């Protein structure tokens, strides 16, 4: 969490004081302003949406009511023919014995249908399909119920209708107006056997007149119970499934609303269902009723931008005036950074806190100049020179010993071990040189030590046995270059006391709180020293002679401080333990 917070606040912390004040004042002004603009827009949008929904619900309900009345009218017309006993008698009579009687039948049917077409101009045509072969078909009012008709949608829609009305879509015909068909089975005397099928073709334009006034800013559709569009302003949509245009599935409720898209535009869909199963659907584009909200929002935004511009100028002028003296003070501090400690030309900054800081800064610069001249520079130069000298003497020392071993081995016999020794030496120096850097990772330091041990094992053979216990968590941590190698070298050169048994060396690395401990332990001959009174003392880094070991301790202390470094404990005949403590960061 602290890392995330630091990552977020770091860019702000790097800003100048004037910029910080400007940003804070600006945010304090702009956030309420943006909130006000967004809240105003959302409020207006919500109010207009609710108002449009209320209007659409009322409009759809009115269209639905008018549609039900219109369909009731057609149903009553079909009922008149359904209940007409004279019509039934003419349609079911056998004209085989007296063919002349069908003239009366045609006269009655023509008069009846002509009167209906005259009084209902929205009806395009009417027909009755019959099975009575003795009654001639004129192809206009009387038609045969042949196999082609029985395969049609009109006929199949009457399955299980039991004399009830069905409304079906009429396939479009070239050069004819759009229509839909009312069909009804004429079976009043026998529900299981119809003596005819009534079809009434109704003009779609008559249905469209019910909603024509509402289509100026919205799309109104009449959809039957099968999901086919029966009436619409765009005639190309007729007799096509609604789901080609509105992908969302309608809820099971008889009326309601939902959002959808139509012709690539977001729409408010409001619908209502008639008792015949037809739906009146209103598709209202959000852009049509949100235009006012957008215009109002633009006006509010323009006012807000003007206010924001004025506030920006005012805030900038205030922040600049406030930080002007701070900038001057920063300039004086930068002069001190460039080691220009003569600040006598520094102008007075007043008597407030900034002025007091200026006075203290002038005095501090003089004292800092004296301190650097007398102590700091001399000490830094001394330590840098000492570190460079110490570092420069490590690699030649080992290089000479290694080259001597390679030379001796080459003189004795031509052995392939020479190739391995040279290879390990190359790897050793590739890591130790480290592009001139004084630090490397503990992992690289361990590898460096392994190569050194491999080189020395060519010389000493099985007399040297090195073991490692390294915690993986410490491997990426940095360490002073060539920290372990001098102690491993010291153990090999001075701790072997038996040329047959050799020596075991254990290298450990683990965490100790916030620090890292490295140990080099050997079971060699050990060391001892005598005090002034002759008593035996344990060996430590304070009384151990040896240039390489003192070098490691000095380099660690110079880099990390006096609390880190090397401590050594050794007892004669037992062995030596070297402990190296470095920070674990």
Residue 464, C-beta contacts closer than 8 angstroms, at least 6 positions apart = 453, 456, 457, 492, 502, 503, 505
**What is the average pLDDT across 54-70?**
83
Could you tell me the residue ranges of all domains in the chain?
48-291, 339-387, 396-583
Gap between the Cα atoms of 359 and 514, Å rounded: 41
**The pLDDT of residue 380:** 55
396-583 classified as CATH 3.30.565.10: yes
Query: Shortest CA distance to 242 belongs to which of 259, 223, 255, 257?
Result: 223
Gap between the Cα atoms of 183 and 201, Å rounded: 9
**The pLDDT of residue 230:** 83
Q: Per-residue pLDDT tens for 373-425?
A: 666 555 655 565 455 545 554 555 565 466 556 655 655 556 656 666 666 67
- Burial, 32: exposed, middle or buried (Cβ in 10 Å; 0-12, 13-18, 19+)? exposed
**What is the average pLDDT across 65-83?**
87
Least confident of 29-38, 207-216, 539-548: 539-548
**What is the average pLDDT across 452-466?**
84
**The pLDDT of residue 534:** 44
Fold of 48-291: Beta-Lactamase (3.30.450)
**What is the average pLDDT across 1-29?**
61
**The pLDDT of residue 539:** 44
CA atoms within 13 A on the CB side of 248: 16
- Burial, 222: exposed, middle or buried (Cβ in 10 Å; 0-12, 13-18, 19+)? buried
Share the mean pLDDT of the chain: 77
**Residue linked to tokens 């949509």:** 237
pLDDT exceeds cutoff 70 at 426: no
Gap between the Cα atoms of 153 and 170, Å rounded: 9
Q: Per-residue pLDDT tens for 253-304?
A: 888 888 888 877 888 888 888 888 888 888 888 777 667 667 777 777 788 7
**Tokens at residue 90, please?**
């003419």
CB 549 within 8 A of CB 527: no
Tell me the β-bridge partners of 520: 507, 578
């Amino acid at each position: 969490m602290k890392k995330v917070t630091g990552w977020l606040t770091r860019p702000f912390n790097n800003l100048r004081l004037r910029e910080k004040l400007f940003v804070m004042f600006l945010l304090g002004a702009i956030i309420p302003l943006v909130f006000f603009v967004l809240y105003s827009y959302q409020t207006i949008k919500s109010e207009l949406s609710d108002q449009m929904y209320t209007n659409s619900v009322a409009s759809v309900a009115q269209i639905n009511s008018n549609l039900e009345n219109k369909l009731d009218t057609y149903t009553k017309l079909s009922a008149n023919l359904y209940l007409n006993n004279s019509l039934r008698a003419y349609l079911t009579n056998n004209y085989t014995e007296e063919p002349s009687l069908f003239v009366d039948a045609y006269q009655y049917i023509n008069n009846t249908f002509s009167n209906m077409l005259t009084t209902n101009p929205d009806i395009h045509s009417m027909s009755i399909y019959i099975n009575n072969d003795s009654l001639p078909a004129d192809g206009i009012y009387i038609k045969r119920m042949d196999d082609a008709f029985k395969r049609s949608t009109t006929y199949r829609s009457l399955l299980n209708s039991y004399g009830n009305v069905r409304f079906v879509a009429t396939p479009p015909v070239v050069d004819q107006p759009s229509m839909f068909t009312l069909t009804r089975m004429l079976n009043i005397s026998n529900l299981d056997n119809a003596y005819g099928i009534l079809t009434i073709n109704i003009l779609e334009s008559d249905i469209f007149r019910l909603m024509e006034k509402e289509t100026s800013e919205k799309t109104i559709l009449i959809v039957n119970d099968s999901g086919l569009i029966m009436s619409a302003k765009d005639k190309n949509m007729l007799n096509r499934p609604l789901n080609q245009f509105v992908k969302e599935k309608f809820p099971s409720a008889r009326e309601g609303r939902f959002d959808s898209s139509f012709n690539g535009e977001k729409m408010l869909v409001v619908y209502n269902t008639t008792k015949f199963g037809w739906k009146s659907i209103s598709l209202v584009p959000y852009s049509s009723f949100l235009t006012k909200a957008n215009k109002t929002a633009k006006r509010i935004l323009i006012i807000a931008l003007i206010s924001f511009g004025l506030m920006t100028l005012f805030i900038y002028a205030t922040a600049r005036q406030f930080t002007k003296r701070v900038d001057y003070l920063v300039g004086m501090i930068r002069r001190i950074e460039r080691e220009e400690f003569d600040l006598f030309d520094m102008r007075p900054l007043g008597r407030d806190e900034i002025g007091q800081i200026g006075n203290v800064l002038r005095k501090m610069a003089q004292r800092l100049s004296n301190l650097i001249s007398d102590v700091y520079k001399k000490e830094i130069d001394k330590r840098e020179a000492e570190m460079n000298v110490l570092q420069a003497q490590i690699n030649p020392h080992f290089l000479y010993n290694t080259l001597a071993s390679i030379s001796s081995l080459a003189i004795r016999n031509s052995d392939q071990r020479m190739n391995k020794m040279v290879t390990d030496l190359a790897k050793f120096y590739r890591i130790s040189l480290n592009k001139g850097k004084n630090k490397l990772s503990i992992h690289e330091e361990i590898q460096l030590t392994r190569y050194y041990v491999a080189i020395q094992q060519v010389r000493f053979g099985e007399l040297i046995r090195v073991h490692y216990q390294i915690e993986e968590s410490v491997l990426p941590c940095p360490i002073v270059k060539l920290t372990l190698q001098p102690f491993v070298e010291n153990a090999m050169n001075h701790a072997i006391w038996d040329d047959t048994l050799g020596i075991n060396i254990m290298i450990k690395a683990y965490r100790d709180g916030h620090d890292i401990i490295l140990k080099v332990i050997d079971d060699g001959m050990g060391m001892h020293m005598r005090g002034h009174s002759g008593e035996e003392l344990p060996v430590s880094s304070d009384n151990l002679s040896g240039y390489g070991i003192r070098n490691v301790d000095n380099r660690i202390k110079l880099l990390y401080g006096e609390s880190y470094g090397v401590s050594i404990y050794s007892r004669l005949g037992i062995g030596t333990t070297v402990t190296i403590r470095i920070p674990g960061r």
